[in-house]
Structure 1
C-alpha cells in the first residue's frame, strides 16, 4: 500500500467554536482532525457534534498528552481511554508528539523537545512500539518546535526523527511551521531538514502560524500562516507529493470561512505541483 492511498486532501483542526457552522454550512473541507483528549468523556455536547460531523467527513485523531519521550511509565488509563475513543470514532489514523510533556507527575503543557541521543531514540522507539501494540495500529508522530539545544545531542533533529520513526515503525506528521520555527531558533536551514526526512513515512502535514519576536520565534498556532511557511510548504509538496494537509489554529480562532479560505491557499500551492489536484472529482463532473 503506498502512502498516496492515504491521501485525504485538505483538512482543518475541528474546534468547538465551529461545531454548529460545520454542520449547517457543510464547508469545502475534505476532513477534520480532533484533539483526542477533548472527546474522551462519554456523551455530552462535544461527542454529539463529533458524531454528527463524523457522518459527513473523515476524521483523524491527534493527541497531546501521550508523552512518548518521558521516563515515567506510560499512562495505561490514558491508553485505555484512547483505545475506547478510537473504536468509537474509527479515525483514519491517530497521532501524537515526539517529545516529553511529563516530568514526574507534572504535566508541563508546553511540549518539550528531547535531547537527540542514541539512548533517547531507543527509549522512545520502544515506548511507541508498546503504544502501537496496545492500540493495535501504527501511529503518526509529530515533530515539535524547539527553543533550546541540549549539549548532549549527538544527532541533528531530522536524523533523530527519522531514526525514531524507523525503529518504532511508525509514520510522521510533519509540522511545517515547527520546522520553520526550529530553523529560525537554531539557525539551521529549514530545507536541509525537509530534504532529509524519510518521505515514505510522511502521512500528514500540519500548517500553522506563530509569533515572531525577531530574535526568536514561538510556535503559538494563533496567527495566519506566514509567507516563509507557505514557501516551505511548497518545497514540501515538490519533494513529498500528495500528503494530507491541514491547518491547525489553537487560539485567536477566526471564522470557519476565514480558515477555509486559508486552506484554499494550500490547495492552490499543492495543485501547482500535483496536476491531479487541480480539479477535484466534483469539479470534473460539473465541468
Structure 2
C-alpha cells in the first residue's frame, strides 16, 4: 500500500507489467496512478478488476489518447459514454487527453496528431471541449503534444495556441515537460520561453518522461529514463508547480516497478528541495 503523502503528488503510469507486483499491495513511494483510458472502457476482465483494486489504495487519474478532441468531425458519443461509465466506477481526480486529432471518418490512426495553429482549428477545438465537458459534467484537462511537422498555414505559435484554448474553453492544461523539450530541440526554440508564455495557473498536472534520439531528432517514445534537460525544466518550475500532481510516464521498455520508482523518488526530492530553498530564503 501507499505510504507516501498525497501532498507530494508524484505518481506513476499504471502498466500491466506491474500488475502482479501491485497485487501484493506493497509499500511504495508512489502517491497515485494514472491509467490509460482506452485500456479500461467498454471492457471487463483482469485489467478492469486490477484498476478497481488499485483504486482502493490510491487516487487515480484517467489519461486518454483517442478522444479526437481536435477533429472537425466531432466527438464519438459512444466513446464518451464509455468514459463516463468508467469515471463513475473509479472516480478519478483528473480526466485528461491530448490537444490533437487521431481519426478520419471513424478510422483511428492510433497516434496523436498535431493540429494547425489557426483560428479555425482553435474554434473547432473549443467547441469540442465544450461538448465534452458538458457531456462528462466535469472539467477536461488537455496535454501539449510532441510534434515533428508544422503546417505552412499556421498563423500563431504553439504557446499562444495552448493559452487561447484554455482561456476560451475553460479547460485545464496538462504540461508535459518532455514534449516541450522535444519540440524545442526539433524546432529550435527555447523551452523556457514556452513555459514562461503559457498560463501556469491553468496547469492542473505535470508529465515527465524520456524521448528517444534518432539521427539527431527527438521522438516522444516514453521508452527512456528522464533526461537531464527535462529534470532541469522540472527543477526550474518546481516552486510554481509543486502543489500539482506530477507523473512519471513510461510506455515502452518498461523496467520493473522498483527501478521506475527511483524516478518517482527523484521528483519528490526536487519538490521537497524547492520547499527547503524557500524556507531558507524566508529565514535570512
TM-score by length of 2: 0.92
- Whether contact under 8 Å (1:8, 1:31) holds in the other structure is no
Q: Who is 2:88 aligned against?
A: 87
Deviations 1:74-127 (A, max 9, x none): 100000111000001110110000001112333211211111111111110110
Give runs of aligned pairs for residues 182-221 of structure 1, distance below 5 A: 182-221=183-222
Separation of aligned partners in 2, 1:61 and 1:111: 16
Separation of aligned partners in 1, 2:182 and 2:172: 22
Separation of aligned partners in 1, 2:109 and 2:44: 28
- Whether contact under 8 Å (1:242, 1:274) holds in the other structure is no
Give the stretch that moved more between structures: 7-16 or 165-174: 7-16
The alignment covers a number of residue pairs equal to 273
Deviations 1:133-173 (A, max 9, x none): 00000010000001111111111101100110111101011
Q: Who is 1:107 aligned against?
A: 108
SS of 1:219 mapped into structure 2: strand
Separation of aligned partners in 1, 2:126 and 2:277: 36
SS of 1:49 mapped into structure 2: helix
Cα displacement (A) at 1:262: 1.1
RMSD (Å) for aligned C-alpha atoms:
1.8
Matching of residue 23 in structure 1 with residue 43 in structure 2: no
Give runs of aligned pairs for residues 1-287 of structure 1, distance below 5 A: 9-24=9-24, 25-275=26-276
TM-score by length of 1: 0.91
Separation of aligned partners in 1, 2:244 and 2:69: 24
SS of 2:38 mapped into structure 1: helix
Distance 1:210 1:277, change over 3 A: farther
Cα displacement (A) at 1:276: 10
Deviations 1:6-65 (A, max 9, x none): 966100000011112123123221000000110113431011111111000000100110
Distance 1:22 1:276, change over 3 A: farther
Separation of aligned partners in 2, 1:147 and 1:237: 28
- Whether contact under 8 Å (2:8, 2:271) holds in the other structure is no
SS of 1:108 mapped into structure 2: strand
Separation of aligned partners in 2, 1:48 and 1:251: 23
Distance 1:137 1:192, change over 3 A: same
Unaligned runs of 5+ in 2: 1-5, 280-284
SS of 2:96 mapped into structure 1: strand
Cα displacement (A) at 1:268: 1.2
Separation of aligned partners in 1, 2:235 and 2:207: 13
